[in-house]
Structure 1
Amino acid sequence: MNFTIRQLKVFEAVATHLSFTRAADELYLSQPAVSMQIKQLEENVGLPLFEKLGKKIHLTAAGRELHTYGKAIFRQLDEMEEVMEAQKGLSRGRLDIAVASTVNYFAPRALGAFSRRYPGVRLSLSVNNRKELMRMLEQNEKDLVLMGQPPEALDLDYEEFMDNPLVVIAPPDHPLVGESNIALQTLAEETFLMREAGSGTRLALERFFQEQGLELHSGMELNGGEAIKQAVRAGLGLAVVSAHTIELELETGRLVTLDVEGFPLLKKWFMVHRRGKRLSPSAQAFHDFLLGDGLEEIQQIR
């Protein structure tokens, strides 16, 4: 099989957008030029890569396989370019990380501090739920993932970098506010607002109640930490959240934490990637920064 990087780049654009027109716009090419590159690639491969059903195009089985390998090839080419640049010092590069929604309250400060130390590195940050992070790890899509307890089902390397205490929050006028060492049985009588299924915070809360032999009375299910905080403020129930996510609300008195037996639940945040993955120079620099003296610098940013 013989094809060019240019043909593969055109294919990747079409496969990503499932549109010859959008691929042509992205690559600043004419649509006939894109069609010609795809035709030549299909001839070289010896198999059709796209099929047209109605007005839409879809990847064939061969196209899906080539799309997977193509993404991996371009990741390797990006890494090669960055490694070559690193020989001149980390003055250029790219860092692409994904974080759990709770870590998003910490991640911008971390990337800001890292960027001041390595201003030439281009940064990309995506915020995702646990299910999507697991998919990204399985597909090796990101340089690094910052999340709670990593899934055991995947072959991963991970290191803890920060404590993540989970606390019970309530509106300021809740009857339990001001009470000391609230019994878990009392807490179990309250209604809890829950994150979406699969959320790390939700899993930790459900596991904790199960270990205590108590039934968790769940109310509304909300997708995202901000929605949870707004619902608690509205008096719709209590919630368990990361203490890192409510600094502003505690300072302004919009929310309060309850003094509950067994809380805070002491969890950790982890830096995660696929086992055996070779970190790019930028990713290695961020890894060393976060596990070295960078954390102290980050915590001073408010």
Structure 2
Amino acid sequence: MLNISIRQMHTLLAIQKHGKISAAAKSLGLTSPAVTLQLQQLEQELGCQLFLRSKSGAQPTEIGEIAIQTARRIVNEVTSLGETVQAHKGVAAGTIRLGVVSTGKYFAPRVIAAFTALHPGIAMTLVAANRSEIIQKLHDHDIDIALMGRPPTSFRVNATLFGDHPLVFIASPDHPLVGKLDISREELAEQKFIVRERGSGTRSSFEFFMADTIEGMRTVPTEMDSNETIKQAVIAGLGIAFISGHTIEQECQAGRIAILDVVETPIRRQWFAIRHANRSATPALQALDDFLRVRGPSLLPVMSKPYQAMLPVQT
């Protein structure tokens, strides 16, 4: 049996995260020689080199990558054990690393505020990125739970549905298509478009919706990497955009953005709370899961009345 310590696992993860022994040592509150010794002892125990070390930093070897993935699982399980023991003692405590896709940052703070008001002993950190980046962080166990749309299919997950996610086409209030009913995809293809970057879930939904007409677009879409930039571009009259309805609450209410009446829209997607299937459900994670199932829908942004009238009726 291998004689490996949790401290060595933490050292391994710190070196991978920071890329250099000195930076890893600083993050761990140790000296560089102490971290180097920990790594050497681990490599001797495994009988393999885990990092290729150079002046530019430490890069994991193939075995190193496997060891890093294993270390993440071990550290997560030990953390889960500690939280479970605390919960058994009646102590409501724990830590949750929450990841959200870019659109989720418009409501994630109110989710955190409402949840921690009920569970003040649970600490939360928030990471926002595009869909592909959040999926990678979830896969690598860099986050505990992700709020996003379609669950990933490249690895096993546990997903909890907690609300609807409508996607709409928007334009500046003085755009010629504003007020027109039943706008077709062909009419949209004649317009200038502003789109999210590749890797974004909204971009994928846009390309799927426009699949039959996207090649016939009059102009090449302008790509922007944030919802805020896209909204400002639309307000400035640079084109129309396809965007999450949850990102435009204030602009619609202020009359700065109009929603277009495009056939078969709003497109209704869902929000899920997603956890890696290999990640044990700690009491803290289970509490968040239960909270989102019950309170999640009420914490999503509320749209203006004209917007609500466009939403399909649920049956």
TM-score by length of 2: 0.86
Contact 1:2 1:45 in 2 (8 A): no
Matches within 5 A, 1:112-123: 112-123=113-124
**Residue 181 in structure 1 maps to residue 182 in structure 2:** yes
Displacement, 1:39?
Answer: 2.6
The one-letter code matched in structure 1 to 2:256 is: R
1:272 to 256, 271, 274: 274
1:211 and 1:135 map into 2 onto residues whose CA distance is 30
Displacement, 1:245?
Answer: 0.4
Partner of 1:102: helix, strand, or coil? helix
Displacement, 1:261?
Answer: 2.5
1:14 and 1:276 map into 2 onto residues whose CA distance is 23
Match of 1:103 in 2: 104
Unaligned runs of 5+ in 1: none
Of 229-238 and 25-34, more deviation after overlay is shown by 25-34
Match of 1:82 in 2: 83
How big is the alpha-carbon RMSD for the aligned residues of Structure 1 and Structure 2?
2.5
Match of 1:281 in 2: 283
Match of 2:248 in 1: 246
Match of 2:7 in 1: 6
Q: 1:167 to 1:12 in 2, by over 3 A?
A: closer
2:121 and 2:302 map into 1 onto residues whose CA distance is 21
Query: How many residues end up aligned between the 2 structures?
Result: 301
Match of 1:159 in 2: 160
Q: 1:257 to 1:55 in 2, by over 3 A?
A: closer
Residues 152-182 of structure 1 deviation map (CA, whole Å, 9 limit, x = unaligned): 4433332321111111111122122233333
Of 17-26 and 176-185, more deviation after overlay is shown by 176-185
Q: 1:129 to 1:192 in 2, by over 3 A?
A: same
1:11 and 1:185 map into 2 onto residues whose CA distance is 54
Contact 1:90 1:118 in 2 (8 A): no
2:137 and 2:44 map into 1 onto residues whose CA distance is 32
Of 275-284 and 235-244, more deviation after overlay is shown by 275-284
Q: 1:211 to 1:164 in 2, by over 3 A?
A: farther
Matches within 5 A, 1:166-245: 166-210=167-211, 215-217=216-218, 218-245=220-247
Of 267-276 and 194-203, more deviation after overlay is shown by 267-276
Displacement, 1:3?
Answer: 2.9
Contact 2:110 2:299 in 1 (8 A): yes
The one-letter code matched in structure 2 to 1:50 is: F
Contact 1:185 1:214 in 2 (8 A): no
Match of 2:312 in 1: none
The one-letter code matched in structure 1 to 2:254 is: T
Displacement, 1:85?
Answer: 1.0
2:266 and 2:116 map into 1 onto residues whose CA distance is 32
2:215 and 2:25 map into 1 onto residues whose CA distance is 59
Q: 1:8 to 1:203 in 2, by over 3 A?
A: closer
Displacement, 1:55?
Answer: 5.2
Partner of 1:66: helix, strand, or coil? helix
Contact 2:87 2:283 in 1 (8 A): yes
Q: 1:17 to 1:33 in 2, by over 3 A?
A: same
Match of 1:94 in 2: 95
Q: 1:194 to 1:297 in 2, by over 3 A?
A: closer
2:264 and 2:4 map into 1 onto residues whose CA distance is 61
Contact 1:164 1:242 in 2 (8 A): yes
Of 74-83 and 145-154, more deviation after overlay is shown by 145-154
Aligned identity (percent) is 37
Displacement, 1:87?
Answer: 1.1
Q: 1:19 to 1:184 in 2, by over 3 A?
A: closer
1:5 and 1:44 map into 2 onto residues whose CA distance is 14
The one-letter code matched in structure 2 to 1:20 is: I
Displacement, 1:214?
Answer: 8.4
Displacement, 1:48?
Answer: 2.8
Partner of 1:210: helix, strand, or coil? coil
Of 173-182 and 243-252, more deviation after overlay is shown by 173-182
2:166 and 2:298 map into 1 onto residues whose CA distance is 20
Partner of 2:221: helix, strand, or coil? strand
Unaligned runs of 5+ in 2: 304-315
Match of 2:309 in 1: none
Displacement, 1:249?
Answer: 1.0
